[in-house]
A and B are shown apart, each in its own frame.
Chain A
Amino acid sequence: MDFLRPTTWAEALAAKADQPDAVPVQGGTDVMVEINFGVRRPVALLDLTRVAELGTWTSVDGRHRIGAAVPYSVIIDRFGGELPGLAQAARTVGSPQIRNRGSVGGNLGAASPAGDSHPPLLAAGALIEAESRDGGVRMIPADGFYTGVKRNALRPDELIRAFHMAPATGPQYFSKVGTRNAMVIAVCSFAIALHPGERRVGTGLGSAAPTPRRAAEAEEFLAKELDWAAPLAPALLDRFGELCARAASPIDDVRGSAAYRRHAVAVMARRTLSWAWHDHLGRRAA
């Protein structure tokens, strides 16, 4: 096994271009588990922890551009106010030790349907900045990033540089079902983001389909039916839950049954919309 240790982004891209089979490793919270258990024997590990740029963040066109390696602990400390949905999800990741190492970039690279950061990225309409030496930069909407179970839209020579997310313009919530508070892989999860300026609601489902995905029909329903000045009608809330559950195509596995997941998605969809709506009306009244 080769161990490649680029110290700049350009070197990292060159290494990936020259050896597309190399597996990028940052916090190691997924990759090292697979190696420890002999599930994976990559021909090369591409250690990105020396590429300083990946751990930094800036503002671009009013959006946050957050380096792929910024750990969850920093997302929680620095972005709890402006990216509340993502920060909520980050707080549910693993344990303090895992949050010190794990990153959104790593979550995106692994592309597990159960990854905690995916639903809030989908609900907020995040963009993923991918780059390769020969192909340059590509901005991939989160909605088009997940292509299958643990598969994503990256080309073999591409690496994830950053993700871009606008500061929240409305309430955002994340909800996750698990057997305890810490160290839980989601049985299923749900994120919601209100975009009051556009009269639009974004959604994201986790661990409820082969990939993280939006509940597109549910979003369209709200865009059409929601009165942004009025309390939520119970019938509308129920219908929203149903449509979110219908967007799921879950499986039975050790963490939960498909029927339970479908049910729980509907419950989480109703709850998160109720929480967000409570905040939304509160802000209007203030």
Chain B
Amino acid sequence: MRLTCTVNGREETVEDVWEGESLLYVLRERMGLPGSKNACEQGECGSCTVYLDGVPVCACLVAAGQAEGRRVRTVEGLAEGDRLDPVQEAFVECGAVQCGFCTPGLVVQAHDLLARVERPSDAEIREALAGNLCRCTGYEKILDAVRLAAERKASA
């Protein structure tokens, strides 16, 4: 089937999409957007987190056809040109990246948290990121990065 949706502000159309495939597969394999990572394919790890109509979801659990006519925003769509989003900057500065595989999902999920909550408590950060697994277990620096991004956004 054909699928048309808006991805990072641009309307995209892809052909020959299998009815059972996921939005994640379409993004990575058909649209050349490999930022969202494919790890568990069962919603356990959060590595494929994208915005669907403004709501963070696991792209691996969205049937491709469910994205028809919808707006998708991936990690590739957070920066403005060469200017990284404050969340991305903070991840770089805090060294909140080890192997990097979980990073895109964490960045999108943290981006959503800071869009909703200006100064999240540690408990709120932990709850918001509870569905994003880092197998390097680099959580402390990830928490540092979210705190730093929150501080900067709030004082900007």
Nearest-neighbour CB distance to chain B for A4, whole angstroms, equals 9
Give the CA-CA distance A100 to B19 in the complex, in Å.
23
Give the CA-CA distance A25 to B64 in the complex, in Å.
12
Tell me which of A37, A45, A97, A98 has the highest count of chain B C-beta atoms within 10 A of its own C-beta: A97
Judged by a CB distance under 8 angstroms, whether B20 is at the interface is yes
Give the CA-CA distance A32 to B59 in the complex, in Å.
10
Give the CA-CA distance A36 to B40 in the complex, in Å.
10
Nearest-neighbour CB distance to chain B for A221, whole angstroms, equals 38
Judged by a CB distance under 8 angstroms, whether B63 is at the interface is yes
Give the CA-CA distance A49 to B41 in the complex, in Å.
20
**0/1 string, B92-134, CB within 8 A of A gives 1:** 0000000000000000010000000000000000011011100
Judged by a CB distance under 8 angstroms, whether B49 is at the interface is yes
Q: List the A side residues contacting B130 at CB < 8 Å.
A: 95-96, 181-183
The answer to whether residues A3 and B19 also contact, given A33-B43, A97-B56 and a CB cut-off of 8 A, is: yes
Nearest-neighbour CB distance to chain B for A159, whole angstroms, equals 17
Judged by a CB distance under 8 angstroms, whether A256 is at the interface is no
Judged by a CB distance under 8 angstroms, whether A41 is at the interface is yes
The answer to whether residues A96 and B60 also contact, given A45-B19, A182-B131 and a CB cut-off of 8 A, is: no
Q: List the B side residues contacting A35 at CB < 8 Å.
A: 20, 63
Could you tell me if A2 and B19 are in contact, using CB atoms closer than 8 angstroms? yes
The answer to whether residues A5 and B68 also contact, given A33-B43, A96-B130, A101-B61 and a CB cut-off of 8 A, is: yes
Judged by a CB distance under 8 angstroms, whether B57 is at the interface is yes
The answer to whether residues A97 and B58 also contact, given A36-B41, A37-B41 and a CB cut-off of 8 A, is: yes
Judged by a CB distance under 8 angstroms, whether A47 is at the interface is yes
Judged by a CB distance under 8 angstroms, whether B156 is at the interface is no
Tell me which of A2, A31, A42, A95 has the highest count of chain B C-beta atoms within 10 A of its own C-beta: A95
Could you tell me if B63 and A45 are in contact, using CB atoms closer than 8 angstroms? yes
**0/1 string, B48-70, CB within 8 A of A gives 1:** 01000001111011110110100
| Total residues of chain A contacting the partner, CB 8 A | 29
Nearest-neighbour CB distance to chain A for B48, whole angstroms, equals 9
Judged by a CB distance under 8 angstroms, whether B13 is at the interface is no
Could you tell me if B19 and A94 are in contact, using CB atoms closer than 8 angstroms? no
Q: List the B side residues contacting A37 at CB < 8 Å.
A: 41-42
Nearest-neighbour CB distance to chain B for A203, whole angstroms, equals 28
Could you tell me if B56 and A25 are in contact, using CB atoms closer than 8 angstroms? no
Nearest-neighbour CB distance to chain B for A249, whole angstroms, equals 28
Give the CA-CA distance A25 to B65 in the complex, in Å.
11
9 closest A-B pairs (Cβ-Cβ)? Answer: A95-B131, A182-B130, A3-B19, A1-B19, A36-B41, A28-B61, A32-B61, A3-B65, A33-B42
Having A47-B65, A97-B46, A101-B57, one finds 19 other A-B pairs with CB under 8 Å, namely: A31-B63, A33-B43, A33-B61, A35-B20, A35-B63, A36-B42, A37-B41, A41-B20, A45-B19, A45-B20, A45-B65, A49-B66, A97-B56, A97-B109, A98-B43, A98-B131, A100-B57, A101-B58, A183-B44
Q: Which residues of B are interface residues toward A (Cβ below 8 A)?
A: 1, 18-20, 22, 41-44, 46, 49, 55-58, 60-63, 65-66, 68, 109, 127-128, 130-132
